[in-house]
Structure 1
Amino acid sequence: MELPAAFEKRMQDMLGAEYTAFRASYNEPHKRGIRLNTVKCTKEQLERALPFTLVQTPFSPLSFYAPTDTKMAALPLYHAGAFYSQEPSASSAVTLLAPEPGDKVLDLCAAPGGKSTQIAALTGDTGLLWSNEVVRNRAAILSSNLERMGVRNTVVSSVYPEMLAEKLGGYFDKVLVDAPCSGEGMFRRDPVTVQEWSPEHVETCAVRQLAILSSAAQCVREGGILVYSTCTFSTEENEGVVQKFLESHPEFVLEKPNVTFGRPAYGVDAVRIFPMDGGEGHFAARFRCVAPCEERFAPFGFKPDRETQAHAEELYTSLFTDVPGRFQRVRDRVILLPNELPDIAGLSVLRAGVEFGEAKKNRIEPAHGIFMASRAENCRSVLHLTSNDPALFAFLRGEEIPAEGLSGYTAVAADGIVTGFGKASNGVLKNRYPKGLRTHL
């Protein structure tokens, strides 16, 4: 693989004797991985259904290496949200963040959603996950991936970081900045990044990264955690940004990464990952806010609608066995709100919670999202199929399938994992799988 001469010189200076091994890695296939989604699936369920053996990566207990020749989107469990395709070392940043159940977490540069869905798995989809992506069409992809992975307690927004800092100052327990970068760690799997690379681009990225990190810092509560990560190797974008941030933000201290993967960064307490370390390339640093911060947030202005709440609760309890939450009608859509939610007025929000259904006259038609966010054991009517059943592939194509002995709205589960729903009548399931998601499997 041909690399820019200036990049090679920089890496030779950085790695010294290890440069030979680094350069040789570019003649090998890039590392591929998947990450288990424990919001919907157990490791045992995934192992039984996959056509390959799971080999754990060092970067996260939920991360596994995958064969380079397997088409993940051809596997039904991919569409069920049982796993997320993710470059192995990309899971390292969330491991440093260490989100816990009940945490309020901001993923500031979140698209396409790999790290957000990893955060949701570690919190058990509790607390609040706020996923932001400034590019609107990428934010839509992010929202779709969160729906596929069954995440309920989430907000998806598309706003500039400084707007979130102004609206949500001091609100979050943990904040992740996986910053846009020069992408040097992506060269093996995305040749376009090689063509876009230049020393000037590296410098431009570093300036932008520091600005994003400074906005993110305002969103962290006192005692909270801020993690900064990139998928690049340059010291300007990694250690350089960390040092400049610490110089201008005395309210933050750098914490030692308590991890066993990767290697120490240069001159700061952070972690680096090179292709020789089992991934494509990553950098991550963990800060803690140790001083009081300005709190700039307000509670969500929930406006109860008794009729909508009553209709939604009635439908919910007919479909599921767990306890319903707060519902809000937005035009003709009914939304199941997150358990925790600040004021979102004035922000460009694509999603707050999960779509429950469409309001019709005196009734609600359930939506795909609420079924994807439910476990099969909580659904009152389930059509169980194995992941190699022809009926499952027909369902994913949008076709009607047999459903003997079932009636009404029914979840379709692939190896026990909800993949969508339909309406059963007279031994047939009328398909409600969204047209935009239908496959040709």
Structure 2
Amino acid sequence: MSNFLPNSLIKRLSQNPTFDNDAFIAVHEDRSQITTIRINPFKPIELDFYLSEGVGWCDKGYYLPARPQFTLDPLFHAGAYYVQEASSMFIAHIIEELELNKEAIMAVDVCAAPGGKSTLLNSFLHEDSLLLSNEIIKSRSIVLQENLMRWGTANTVVSNNDPSAFNRLPGFFDLMLIDAPCSGSGMFRKDEDAIDEWSEGNVKLCSERQQRILSEALVSLKTNGYLIYSTCSYSEEENEMILDWLSDEFEMESVNVSLDPSWGIETTLSLRHQATGYRFYPHKVKGEGFFVAILKMKQVQPTFSLKKLKVEKSPVPKNALTSWVKDSDRFATLVHHDTIHISSKEHELAIKAFQQVLYLKNAGTAVGKWLGKELVPSHDLALSIHLSGEINAIELNLDLARDYLRKESIPLDVFDQVKKGWCIIKYKGLAIGWIKVLGNRINNYYPKEVRIANL
């Protein structure tokens, strides 16, 4: 037995005759850390650090030979990449196997913070899809909003709701991802605190919580829609037994995807219904502990109708965004929390439905506040891939870019080419925020809540 891993967990895992008990314990005692990132396809750029090899099941994921100080990298703040655990990136393979990237769909990430799986969905789904990213905990929803803002697209919505709110959107989504809160045993190698917090009692509580989340959220999945269910737990009560519970409570069909044997991912079956799941063990894959399964909703679901909704005329003047947003005619505008937002015209009714039944943190891209004759641009717009290329921009070197991210002053002579007004700050060609030139001084508009506190 291990000296620090819970003996009850090891005993349960050892009931599988093919489980390599010694290798599992050894990889945890080794305590080696694996660092992986996933690049943002909407912001292609050469990074400042070396990428050693690709993640086999995700063509945008890469292993790093060492962990850089991401906080000090302006490209991280620009949204060029997301630091994500490799096993979680397997969802990209699922999206491609199910061909959910072939046409526009409605998708929801029910337990989305901090945003790794939402930014992945946004990268791999069809570009005309709409993604609703939800987080029940308010403080975590703020982090989720920040990470999706860095990703830069206008086809995401962030909400802060209990999963029970989704029963007001019956049969709305083609795809539902639930990365369920769990007991966290899959994170033992990465996070030693998770070991101290683990208990069989907590496994039981998490299993019950997972069932509640699923039962409340699944009302909003369409007939023939897909559920991707995942945890970072090794416990059957949170994994295979949940698949059996889903098969009992709902008319759901297990879905398989192909695997490359070299990946080391283990296929598992639930006891009663033989539903397929995929287990990631750190002694077999180059990643942390993870479980994921795909099920298809076969029962006839009630359907939410968008036809009864009417879009109100936007209070934003027609040409107000022309100089700020690239191809602004392609977008619908709405005012939310006194801020102008843009989203695809095709998503206008869906976002209207979200507004009526959910508490939204953000919708599409927040452009800024309209003050009657002038727009005060938002940080969201600065990081958006839809920002107009006609706006004044200044490229900074690494030291000055870090000073800007610390919200420090930048020498005025850097902005000699900009006589007056709003200006985008860039590093290696990617925008990181706004400044405003005011003749004899400049104002740094980088948000204080996300600034680098220390170097």
Decide: shared fold, TM above 0.5. yes
Partner amino acid for 1:403? F
Deviation at 1:321, TM superposition (A): 3.2
Could you say if the C-alpha distance between residues 109 and 319 of structure 1 is closer, same or farther in structure 2, counting changes exceeding 3 Å? Answer: same
Rounded Cα–Cα distance in structure 2 between residues aligned with 1:124 and 1:291: 26
CA displacement 1:109-136 (0-9 Å, x = unmatched): 1011000011111136532110111111
* Contact kept? 1:125, 1:151, Cα under 8 Å: no
Q: Give, in whole Å, the separation in 2 of the partners of 1:159 and 1:25.
A: 38
Q: Distance in 1 between matches of 2:342 and 2:71?
A: 28
> Is 1:305 the counterpart of 2:314 in the alignment?
yes
- 2:390 — aligned with what? 380
Q: Which residue identity lines up with residue 51 of structure 1 in the other structure?
A: F
List aligned pairs for 1:354-369, cutoff 5 A: 354-369=365-380
Query: C-alpha displacement at 1:421, in angstroms?
Result: 2.2
Secondary structure of the residue aligned to 1:265 is strand
Q: Is the 8 A contact 2:105 2:130 kept in 1?
A: yes
Counterpart of 2:130 in structure 1 is: 128
* Gap regions ≥5 residues in structure 2: none
Find the counterpart in structure 2 of residue 36 from structure 1. Answer: 39
- What is the CA-CA distance between 1:224 and the residue it aligns to? 1.8
* Alpha-carbon contact 1:93-1:229 (below 8 Å) kept: no
Residues 89 and 273 in structure 1, CA contact (< 8 A), matched pair in contact too: yes
Q: Does 1:323 align with 2:328?
A: yes
Cα offset, 1:172, TM superposition = 1.0
RMSD after superposition: 2.3
Shift of 1:14: 3.2
Deviation digits for residues 155-199 of structure 1 (CA, Å, limit 9, x no counterpart)? 2112121221x2211111111011011111111122221111111
2-side partners of 1:95 and 1:219: how far apart?
Answer: 24
Map of 1:409 onto structure 2: 422
Query: In structure 1, which of residues 82, 85, 95 is the aligned counterpart of residue 83 of structure 2?
Result: 85
* Number of equivalenced pairs: 428
Kindly state the Cα deviation for residue 105 of structure 1 after the two structures are TM-superposed: 0.8
Asked if residue 396 in structure 1 is aligned to residue 405 in structure 2, the reply is: yes
- 1:419 and 1:199 map into 2 onto residues whose CA distance is 45
Bigger CA drift: 195-204 or 284-293?
284-293
| Identity in percent | 27
- Alpha-carbon separation, structure 1, partners of 2:310 and 2:106: 18
Which residue in the other structure is 2:73 paired with? Answer: 75
CA, structure 1 residues 16+107, in 2 after alignment: closer, same or farther (shift >3 Å)? same
1:40-93 CA-partner distances (Å, limit 9, x unpaired): x22xx2xx3222224211231111112444221121110001111111111123
Give me the whole-angstrom Cα distance separating, in 2, the residues matched to 1:321 and 1:159: 32
Q: CA deviation at 1:279?
A: 0.8
Task: State the distance in 2 between where 1:422 and 1:66 align.
Answer: 33
- Rounded to whole Å, the distance in 1 between the matches of 2:66 and 2:310 is 48
**Is residue 282 from structure 1 mapped to residue 284 from structure 2 by the alignment?**
no
Deviations 1:182-222 (A, max 9, x none): 11111112222111111121122112212222333222222
**Change in 2 beyond 3 A, CA 1:286/1:382:** farther
The verdict on how the C-alpha distance between 1:68 and 1:10 changes in structure 2, with shifts beyond 3 A counting, is: farther
2:448 is aligned with what amino acid?
Answer: K
Contact 2:435/2:444 (CA < 8 Å) preserved in 1?
yes
CA distance 1:331–1:34, shift in 2 (3 Å): closer
Q: Which moved more, 1:237-246 or 1:206-215?
A: 206-215
- The answer to whether 1:151 aligns with 2:162 is no
| Distance across 2 between alignment mates of 1:119 and 1:56 | 19
Structure 2 CA distance for aligned equivalents of residues 427 and 389 of structure 1: 24
**Is 1:295 the counterpart of 2:297 in the alignment?**
no
What is the alpha-carbon distance in structure 2 between the residues aligned to residue 22 and residue 417 of structure 1? 42
Distance 1:189 1:148, change over 3 A: same
| Contact 2:13 2:19 survives alignment (8 Å) | no
Once the two structures are superposed, what CA deviation does each residue of 1:200-254 show, in whole Å capped at 9, x if it has no partner? 211221122122223332222222211111111111111110011112212x211
How many angstroms apart in 1 are the aligned matches of 2:337 and 2:281?
A: 49
CA distance in 1 between counterparts of 2:437 and 2:208 reads 56
Alignment partner of 1:103 is 2:113: no
Residue pair 1:126, 1:153 contacting (<8 A) in 2 also: yes
Structure 1: distance between partners of 2:33 and 2:83: 14
| Contact kept? 1:181, 1:202, Cα under 8 Å | yes
Q: What letter is aligned with 1:74? A: L
- 1:10-48 deviation per Cα after TM superposition (whole angstroms, max 9, x unaligned): 222236551111111102313221111113x22xx2xx3
1:256 aligned onto 2:279: no
| One-letter identity of the residue aligned with 1:253 | E
In the TM superposition, what is the alpha-carbon distance from 1:266 to its structure 2 partner? Answer: 3.5
Contact 2:325 2:386 in 1 (8 A): no
- In structure 2, the partner of 1:176 is 177
**2:444 aligned with 1:431, yes or no?**
yes
Q: Find the residue that maps to 1:423 and give its secondary structure.
A: strand
2:35–2:67 contact (8 Å) kept in structure 1 = no
- 1:246 is matched with which residue? 247
Specify the SS of the correspondent of 2:237.
coil
Work out whether residues 368 and 376 of structure 2, in 8 Å CA contact, stay in contact via their aligned partners in 1.
yes
> 1:139–1:190: structure 2 CA closer, same or farther, 3 Å change rule?
same
User: Greater CA deviation, 177-186 or 412-421?
Assistant: 412-421
Q: Is the Cα contact below 8 Å between 2:153 and 2:386 reproduced in 1?
A: no
